[in-house]
Structure 1
Amino acid sequence: MKEELPICYTCINENCFIKKHLHLEQMKQYVVRKQTFVCKKSNSFIKEGDPIKGLYFICSGKVKTIKTGINGREQIVRLTKNGDTVGFRGFGTSKRYLIGASALEDTVLCNFSNETMLEILQSIPEFTYALMLFYADELNKSENNIRKIAHMNVRERVIDLLLYIHRKFGQMNDLIDIELSRKEIADFAGTTEEQAIRVISTLKKEMLIKTVGKKIGILAVAQLRSEIMEHKYFSI
């Protein structure tokens, strides 16, 4: 369902790629081409293997990006929020999305088509340069995630994930501002649901975290950080 929303110039997401470049006169002609729509909680707006339809920018809400692994198991590769970009994996180099994406809550998305994005990249060097740096940063994060899976044990990977979502989404009323099922935690930490549940239960008994439904709150950030400090890349 499409919904009319304020134009990009009134958007409050200062970290959005589009918003950051609205000071450039050339951007005016491209902003009017965007399509805005609402993706309901648990619904997907990108299916892995579908033809690429440009880039998505989150106006409001939260999204998980997934990749299908061995035996069809989903691996969460990224969690995103207001202002973040979704669908960039494979953009410009592939005809199909290399990932899938679905809403963790009702989410408002802005879509810029392939044609529009390619025109922006070819005509606005400042935007192209910023996107190149973004890709480089994401590559570094992906490499660190591979190292974590190889060198961290299950407890450390779950702790690393909890610190990551704590930093990215913040904490309100002693609870991290995102709902993730135990399976989603396992899918992101690269472990099984049973192992994730076991680690969370242990951390609760140790009074390091608290839980209310699907939400988790961190009670001892410094202590959790100290457990994975030797890896030198926590909270990526």
Structure 2
Amino acid sequence: MFHSDKLSFLASLLAIRVPPVPAPTITMFFIMYDFSGNTFNCSLCFLNLPDKYSDDDIYHVFVFLTSKRNTMICDCEQCDLKKLFFGAVSNEELQTICSQKEERNYPKGEVIIKEGSEIHDFIYMKSGLVKLFRQSGDEEQIIAIAKPYDFVSLLSVFSEKYYHYSVTALEDTTVCVLSMSLISGMLQKNCAFACNVITQMSKVSDAIIMNMLNICERHLRGRVAYILVYFSETIYRQTVFDLPLSRKEIAAFIGMTTENVIRTLSEFRKDGIINIYGKRIEITNPERLRKVSMLG
């Protein structure tokens, strides 16, 4: 027979009846448990057993759990990043990623990456919104706005020892962190994975370059309209949203003064293009705003 603290742990979890499951079955909820006594998978699982189970029943369940523990998927398997970025990795590599990744939560306004800090980690966003920027005296030079599934560390992570920019949460943000040693090892062993990384690096660079060119080729009204369209159609995908940037930050992003941004927003409101409720923007005439963005 199988007797241990693990058996007691498992047996205690078997004592939960969940209606309307008919007798003679009992539904067991459990989390995967390894022999070191630490939980390693937070997935909720279900199992039906005979109503009157013996020690042998519990033993077989325990054997089943421990035999399956290394094949259970973590949420990396469900994440869009698996298709976007990790599609080229094997199941074994994916399990390594799952076991070594760390999720970090940052409230709005908190610094995620500090300019000048040493690069130790490979970071990508799971949820939230951030700004990438450089500090120039008291002024910020905003480089880009990053949304979920953007790789906020790709600009410097393979070329420099220290970050040349900062990243701050514009909204409550969750990032996934992997050690650079793990990623570097995978790059050396997995050519398809390396190609995916190069592709993503190119996309990040191209997006920043094209965004800056799109802003620079527009006049003041066109720049402000471009930013509003960007937040509406790319970030939030709706016509009513809270601006994640202050007027001053918008000015820094598009290379204009704060006064010009405030005046242009007021003009858009008078023209019936938008409504303004503090930080909340309602785009009442999306087609006209798009036209100003294109021709401005």
TM-score (norm 1): 0.83
Residue 273 of structure 2 is aligned to residue 208 of structure 1: yes
Matching residue's letter, 2:255: G
Task: Give the partner amino acid of 2:152.
Answer: V
Match of residue 117, structure 1, among 155, 177, 183: 183
Corresponding residue number in structure 1 for 2:287: 222
CA contact (8 A) 1:185 1:196 kept: yes
Is residue 62 from structure 1 mapped to residue 143 from structure 2 by the alignment?
no
1:34 aligned partner:
101
| Correspondence for 1:51 among 118, 130, 133 | 118
Counterpart of 2:256, as a letter, is T
Whether contact under 8 Å (1:22, 1:28) holds in the other structure is no
Q: Using the TM superposition, give the Cα deviation of residue 31 of structure 1 relative to its aligned residue in structure 2, in angstroms.
A: 2.7
Cα distance in 1 for partners of 2:122, 2:197 equals 12
Task: Return 5+ residue gaps in structure 2 as ranges.
Answer: 1-40, 44-73
> CA offsets, 1:150-177, max 9 Å, x none?
43212111111111111222245x4136
CA contact (8 A) 2:123 2:151 kept: yes
Contact 2:221/2:293 (CA < 8 Å) preserved in 1? no
Structure 2 equivalent of residue 131 of structure 1 = 197
CA offset at residue 131 of structure 1? 2.0
Q: Is the 8 A contact 1:13 1:59 kept in 2?
A: no
Residues of 2 paired with 1:165 and 1:100: CA distance? 21
Distance 2:273 2:155 in 1: 35
How big is the shift at 1:55? 2.1
1:72-131 per-residue CA deviation (whole Å, 9 max, x = no partner) reads 421222222222221111111100012101111221211112112212222222222122
Is contact 1:154–1:191 with CA below 8 Å preserved after alignment?
yes
The one-letter amino acid of 2:170's match is L
3-state SS of 2:200 partner: helix
Distance 1:121 1:97 in 2: 21
Higher RCO (CA-CA < 8 Å; seq separation 6+): 1
2:107 paired with 1:107: no
Is 2:54 the partner of 1:9? no
| The one of 240, 255, 261 aligned to 1:190 | 255
> How much does 1:229 deviate?
2.7
State the one-letter code of the partner of 1:221: P
Structure 1: unaligned runs, 5 residues or longer: 232-236
SS of the residue corresponding to residue 100 of structure 2 reads coil
% identity of equivalent residues: 27
Q: 2: distance between equivalents of 1:28 and 1:13? A: 16
Q: With structure 2 as the length reference, what TM-score do the two structures score? A: 0.68
Distance 2:120 2:129 in 1: 20
Worse overlay, 99-108 or 116-125: 116-125
Deviation track 1:13-71 (CA, whole Å, cap 9, x = no partner) reads 457755645665422213311111111110101011110122212222211111234x4
Compared with structure 1, are the counterparts of its residues 24 and 176 closer, same or farther at alpha carbon in structure 2 (3 Å cutoff)?
A: farther
Alignment-derived partner of residue 78 in structure 1: 144
Larger radius of gyration between Structure 1 and Structure 2:
2
Q: Which moved more, 1:51-60 or 1:135-144?
A: 135-144
- Relative to structure 1, is the Cα distance of residues 25 and 219 closer, same or farther in structure 2, using a 3 angstrom cutoff? farther
Distance 1:219 1:19 in 2: 40
* Amino acid corresponding to residue 277 of structure 2 in structure 1: V
Name which of structure 1's ranges 127-136 and 194-203 shifts more when overlaid on structure 2.
Answer: 127-136
Aligned residues of 2:154 and 2:204 also touching (Cα < 8 A): no
Q: Structure 1 residues 177, 128: closer, same or farther in 2, change over 3 A?
A: farther
